[in-house]
Amino acid sequence: MKRWLCAAMAVLVFAQPLDAYLQFSVMRAGQTRALKWQRIPVRWHAADRGAAGVSASEFQATMARAFGTWEAVPTASIAFQFAGFSGAEPFDDDGVSVLGFQDQPDMERVLGATGFLVDTVTGDIVEADIFFNSAFPWSTSAAGDPNRFDLESVAVHEIGHFLGLGHSALGETEVRPEGGRRVLASGAVMFPISFGRGVTHDRTLQPDDIAGVSDLYPDGDFRSQTGIARGRVTRNGGGVLGAHVVAFNPERGELVGGFTLNNDGEFEIAGLQPGPHIIRVEPLDDADVESFFSARNPIDLGFLVTFFNRLFIAPSGGQGETVTVAVRPK
């Protein structure tokens, strides 16, 4: 078992990508509504049992740090409150958000998952639960344990889902001879495939994660102080669905990604720091397409990596020039 997938399970809702960073959403009467919490602070409970090598109190402390990581994003207004230990199981539809271990040996590639109970009219998240698969070895060591997965890193990822974020495609992988993929590198905590054992980098959010949560829960000046890249990805004149579009800010070294989300090949990346950006378009071939889009979407993977032929200037508030990138087939 060499491959580990951090899956987001959107239960009881029809989920489809809404925007950059793949926010979860619900469709109602033709209207798309992003899944998000309306009642802040968000109360959460920790399951009152641990797993091998992780006590219940260590688990709770680790979750608190992971929530704190998202809470500390200065451009997002989100807050959490630990409501106590609970004997309830994650994924009980009881209106109480519970995080805890569950033994799921049959889910041999799933380190953890998040499920929601939502109001399908408003898109409000009513409950979100996270389970961590205790079939895997876990560590809460500050320095990481080379033989165990870092609980805090995976928790930061799952809490991104808990907030309503989907997966980011900012990463590079290689196919393993025995099947599955191995991560070579990633540019977002919300990349769907976890780092290996002992790697603790995902305790820290990356610019793509920060842009995503700030777009979903914007704090005061976020929209007026960051810019939006909008445009199209085309192939032979038609739109490309599911292309991964990345904006790189060379002055800050930051990468923020988005996707083309309809058959016209339109994309939008919000939360870009003002200034020049290099826009790169690639096929969604570094993870299972199902990690990002539902299987019924015909995602085009048959084109070459292509750069926008100009520097894109993100304004301070609002949208920059419209970007059109014409890709060529492989």
Partner 1 sequence: MTRGIARTVVLVVMLVFVGREASAQTGSTPSIRWVEIDLGGGFLSGAPLGTVDANLRANERTAQPYRMFTADHRFERSRQFHARARRLFGERWGVEGGVTIGHPVLRADVSADVEGAPGLAISETVDQYFFDAAVVMAFEELSLGRLVPFATGGAGYLRQLHEGQTVIEHGQLFQAGAGVRYPFVSRAAGLVRTAGLRGDVRGYVLRGGVSVDARPRPHMAISGGVFVGF
User: Where do contacts with partner 1 occur on this chain (CB under 8 A)?
Assistant: 144, 146, 170-172, 182-187, 195-196, 198-201, 206, 246, 248, 250-251, 253, 255, 274-276, 278, 280, 282, 304-311, 313-316, 318, 320-321
> Least distance from C-beta 272 to partner 1, angstroms?
11
Nearer to partner 1, 84 or 146 (CB): 146
CA-closest candidate to residue 249, choices 224, 215, 273: 273
> Least distance from C-beta 196 to partner 1, angstroms?
6
Nearer to partner 1, 92 or 251 (CB): 251
> Least distance from C-beta 183 to partner 1, angstroms?
5
> E-strand spans in 98-180?
98-102, 110-118, 125-133, 138-139, 149-150, 171-175
What is the enclosing helix (H) or strand (E) of 27? strand 25-28
Q: How far is CA 36 from the centre of its chain?
A: 14
> Least distance from C-beta 61 to partner 1, angstroms?
22
Within 10 Å of residue 271's Cβ, how many Cβ atoms? 30
Nearer to partner 1, 77 or 306 (CB): 306
Nearer to partner 1, 119 or 321 (CB): 321
Amino acid at 91: F
Q: Do 209 and 189 form a contact (C-beta atoms < 8 A)?
A: yes
> Least distance from C-beta 308 to partner 1, angstroms?
7
Nearer to partner 1, 196 or 298 (CB): 196
- The strand pair at 31-34 and 25-28 is best described as antiparallel
Q: Reduce the DSSP state of residue 150 to 3 states and report it.
A: strand
